[in-house]
Amino acid sequence: MTGEELEARLREIVAGYPSARSAMLPCLHLVQREHGYITPEGILAVAEAIGVKPDEVESIVTFYSMYTQEPKGRYVIKVCTSISCYLRGCDDVMAHLEQRLGVRKGETTSDGRFTLEAAECLAACGMAPALQVNGHFFENATTERASGLVDYLANGGDPEAISSAWQPTSDGRGMATVSAIGAKSEQPATGSADGHAKIQQNGAHEQ
């Protein structure tokens, strides 16, 4: 998007709301998507489009945890660390990913490919521990499956293609989700919900 196209798109978003300021979050989502992170120019563009002062936009950007003012890796892996994932071993997954990627949580690999982050409850408690890659869920994670995921992504895999899908639970009386990667080696020592999971082979390259 050129600067002008971006401005036009921002104006369009603003026009969709009864009050211009309501477009704050959607506009910031857009500039973040366009620039990869919230740049000073992005803040000025949003301030201009909405008709507020840049300092007010800055205040919003720092309040909401999804906005970042620093560039991130191509794949942002978020590990949910809240209670349900904690109970099912998210700390092990996180530790494994830290070791595997050679970064600590919050950091980006030196090649700029991966950013590893902790996330607050991602509404995936029934499929814990849960990961997100660029917004796509990867659930019932284990250290092994997380490793498989990194391999898959390292080889240019599309995170969307392996995103979790909702399935009825084994008794057909409830719903949970399954992820579609790296589960073949492992039928839950920790007992996951994916007894019925259809494991799609989708080109993940295991080492």
Partner 1 sequence: MGEQQDLVTVTIDGREISVPPGTLVWEAARRLGIEIPIYCYHPKMDPLGACRMCFVEVKGMPKPMTACTTTVMPNMVVSTDSPMVKKSRRGTLEFLLINHPLDCPICDKGGECDLQDFTLRYGPGASRFDLSKRHFPKPVPVSENILLDRERCISCQRCVRFCQDVAMEDGLVLLERGYKTEVGVEVDAPFDSIFSGNVVEMCPVGALTARSYRFVTRPWELKRTGSVCGQCSVGCNVLVDVRVNRLLRQYGRTNDSIDEGFLCDRGRWHTDPVNSAERLRTPLIRKNGKLEPATWDEALQLVGRQLRETVSQHGTASVGGIGSTHTTNEEAYLFQKLLRAGLGTNNVDHYHGRFPTVERNGLPWVWTDSIAGLEKARVIVLLGTDTYHRQPIIDLRIRRAIRKGTRVYVVTPEPARLDRLSVGTIRYTSGQTGTVARALLSTILGEQLTRGDFAANHAESVEALRASLVGTDLDALARTAGADAEALRALAREFATADGAVLLYDEMATREPTGATLPQDVLHLAQLTGNFGRPGAGAGPLMEDNNSLGARDMGLLPDQLPGYLPLADGAALGKAWGMEIPQAAGKDYDAMLGGGVRALYVMGADPARHATPEQLAHLEALDFLVVQDLFLTETAKRATVVLPVVAYTEKDGTFTNTERAVQVVRKAMQELPETRPDWQVLTSVANALGMDWRYRSPAEILAEIARVVPLYAGVSRRGLGMQGARWPFRTAEAGADGKAPLVGSPCLTWDMVEHGVANSAGGAEPALPRGYGEQS
Partner 2 sequence: MTDTPGATPTNNSSSLPLGPTPRFVTRTFDVPGIDRIEVYRANGGYEALAKALKQFEPDALVDEVKKSGLRGRGGAGFATGVKWSFLPKDNPKPRYLCVNADESEPGTFKDRMIMEVSPHLLVEGTIITSYATKVHRAFIYIRGELPVAEQQVSRAVREAYDAGLLGKNILGSGYDLDITVHRGAGAYICGEESALLESLEGRRGFPRLKPPFPAVVGLYGSPTVINNVETVSTVPAVVTYGAEVYATYGTEKSKGTRIYCLSGHVERPGNYELPMGTPLRTLIEDYGGGVRGGRKIKAIIPGGSSTPLLKPSQIDTPLDHESIAAAGSSLGSAGVVVLDDQTCIVGAVLRMTEFYRDESCGKCTPCREGTFWLVQLLERLEEGHGKESDIPLLADICDNMYGRCFCPLGDGATLPITSSIKLFYDEYLHHIRAHGCLVGPRARGVAVGAAS
| Position 10 contacts partner 1 (CB under 8 A) | no
Do 50 and 65 contact (CB within 8 A), yes or no? no
Smallest separation, CB 20 to partner 1 (Å): 15
Name the nearest CA neighbour of 66 among 78, 74, 53. Answer: 78
**What's the sign of the alpha-carbon dihedral 191, 193, 198, 199?**
negative
| Position 66 contacts partner 1 (CB under 8 A) | no
Of the candidate residues 31, 43, 76, 82, the single one contacting partner 2 (CB under 8 A): 82
Quote the CA–CA distance of 36 and 67 in Å, as a whole number.
Answer: 10
Smallest separation, CB 136 to partner 2 (Å): 7
Of the candidate residues 17, 62, 71, 102, the single one contacting partner 1 (CB under 8 A): 62
Q: How far is CA 158 from the centre of its chain?
A: 13
Smallest separation, CB 18 to partner 2 (Å): 6
- Closest CB to partner 2 among 24 and 146? 24
Region for 181 from its dihedrals, namely left if φ exceeds 0, alpha if ψ lies in -120 to 50, beta otherwise: beta
- Within residues 153-172, the interface with partner 2 by CB under 8 A covers 163, 166, 168-172
Residue 83's φ and ψ, nearest 5 degrees, are -55, -50
Do 165 and 181 contact (CB within 8 A), yes or no? no
Please name every residue paired with 136 in a beta bridge, in sequence order, or none if there are none: 133
Listed ranges 4-12, 56-64, 98-106, 145-153: which one lies at the site for partner 2 (CB under 8 A): 56-64
Q: How far is CA 191 from the centre of its chain?
A: 24
- Within residues 165-204, the interface with partner 1 by CB under 8 A covers none
Residues that bind partner 1 (CB under 8 A): 40, 43-44, 53-59, 62-63
Residues that bind partner 2 (CB under 8 A): 16-26, 28-29, 50, 52, 59-60, 63-67, 78, 81-84, 86-88, 119-128, 132, 135-137, 163, 166, 168-176, 190-191, 193, 195
